[in-house]
Amino acid sequence: MATFRRNKKTEPPSVSLESVDRSRLPNHVAIIMDGNGRWAKSRGLPRIEGHRQGANSVEEALTACGELGIPYLTLYCFSHENWKRPKEELDFLMGLLKTYLKGQTKRLIDNGIRLAVIGRRDGLSNDVIEVMDQAIERCKHGTKQTLVLAINYGGRQEIVDAVKAIASDIVSGKLRSQDIGEDTISDHLYTVGIPDPDLLIRTSGELRISNFLLWQISYSEIWITQKAWPEFGKPELYEAVAEYVRRDRRFGGLS
């Protein structure tokens, strides 16, 4: 099995499990994994080394969610806009994805983790799609956690695809326009069957959504850390969850 090693020893979480009100834990955490390239550049390393180190943080976040009992984790792995990057970096990212899926599928199965992938398949090579499908099939019986990887994903593109699917259903007579509501749109998104994120985390201090889950995060709590993704670990995820638990979620109403 391929393994990824952190470049430094993981610090113990500053927030203990005992101090977190488990009755208020998020059901779904989504993370915009940002800062790999800048982390590498600040250390005089090639950008691809930042992506390599970032793979360790995937394991940290997944493990922390498992320890806390958070059933859904969505990671923004590769955006629709990332195709603008140099070919060398794109080839490395696709290779890293295949290495991760091949190397970690058994671990996911052993820990009862179901795997899902959201995003467009157009543009992905056949070998990447084959590895993805094999991993999804092998992990389909997981019931403890669901790991969602957003690959070749864009929020606007997802909504466009949903509108096209709804229009097709109207033309075919499966759906009437007057019956369209929020649930109709949700049921035609890539994330159908997956609850909306309660907590959205972004690393590297950027203050933007970057075309990620635009429909689904309408009422998500947002937590931003200055740390780049390769520096993100269990302590940071615990801190984000502890902050989430302290917030008063009103959904437009009153406390």
Residues 6 or more apart whose CB falls under 8 angstroms from that of 66 comprise 111, 113, 144, 145
Residue with tokens 């955006």: 79
Phi, psi of 81 (to 5 degrees): -80, -15
Rounded to the nearest integer, the mean pLDDT of the chain is 92
Nearest to 215 by CA among 148, 160, 174: 160
Among this protein's residues, is 82 annotated catalytic?
yes
Domain spans of the chain, in order of start:
23-244
Q: What is the pLDDT of residue 13?
A: 57
Note the pTM of the prediction, 2 decimals.
Answer: 0.91
- Residue 34 annotated in active site: yes
Q: Tell me the C-alpha to C-alpha distance, in Å, between residue 179 and each of 14, 38, 157, 176.
A: 49, 47, 23, 5
Burial category of 250 from C-beta neighbours within 10 Å (exposed 0-12, middle 13-18, buried 19 and up): exposed
Element (H, E) at 65: helix 47-68
Of residues 21, 56, 82, 110, which has the active-site annotation? 82
Q: How many beta carbons lie within 10 A of that of residue 35, not counting itself?
A: 24
Q: How do residues 21-58 score in pLDDT, each as one tens digit?
A: 778 999 999 999 999 999 999 999 999 999 999 999 99
Phi, psi of 46, rounded to the nearest 5 degrees: -65, 155
Tell me which CATH code domain 23-244 carries: 3.40.1180.10
**What is the distance between the alpha carbons of residues 63 and 237, in angstroms, rounded to a whole number?**
10
Collapsing DSSP to helix, strand or coil, 185 comes out as helix
Catalytic residue chosen out of the listed positions 7, 21, 27, 34? 34
Going from the C-alpha of 100 to that of each of 77, 104, 123, 135, 244, the distances in angstroms are: 12, 6, 20, 10, 29
Kindly report, residue by residue over 161-172, the tens digit of the pLDDT.
999 999 999 999
Give the three-class secondary structure for 44: coil
Higher-confidence residue of 22 and 72: namely: 72
pLDDT at residue number 125: 96
